[in-house]
Amino acid sequence: MQQEGPAMDRMKRYRLDRRDSCRVCPLDDLVLLYHPRSGQTHMVISPVPEMLERMVDGAPVTASDLHDRLARDYDLGPRDVALAQVAAQLEALEALGLVCAA
């Protein structure tokens, strides 16, 4: 199962619903997101703001798609490690309701 789980996650597609777009305020040490639909404020650091930025078009993406979009602008290091991170962040964002399963 443990072998399968992350691999499955990488196939899962997420999207950013327009209703869930956040008000963003960068501070000197982190980024604040205000999510109007829930009234919640989230404190996040890279790569979360960058991920959300690359999802604003609303198109469904897998962790792998998103990784590749990020890799165009940033040096993410070894693909496997970075991909696992992106997948984990997407899962966390879904739990918060900031992105949804597509």
What residues line the site for other proteins (CB under 8 A)? 23, 25, 27-30, 32, 34, 36-41, 43, 95, 97
Please identify, using beta-carbon distances, which residue of 71 and 102 lies nearer to other proteins.
102
What is the closest distance, in whole angstroms, from the C-beta atom of residue 91 to other proteins in the complex?
13
Mapped onto helix, strand or coil, the DSSP state of residue 58 is: coil
Q: Cα(91)–Cα(95) distance, rounded to whole angstroms?
A: 6
Please identify, using beta-carbon distances, which residue of 25 and 88 lies nearer to other proteins.
25
Which residue in the block uniquely carries the two structure tokens 């940033």? 74
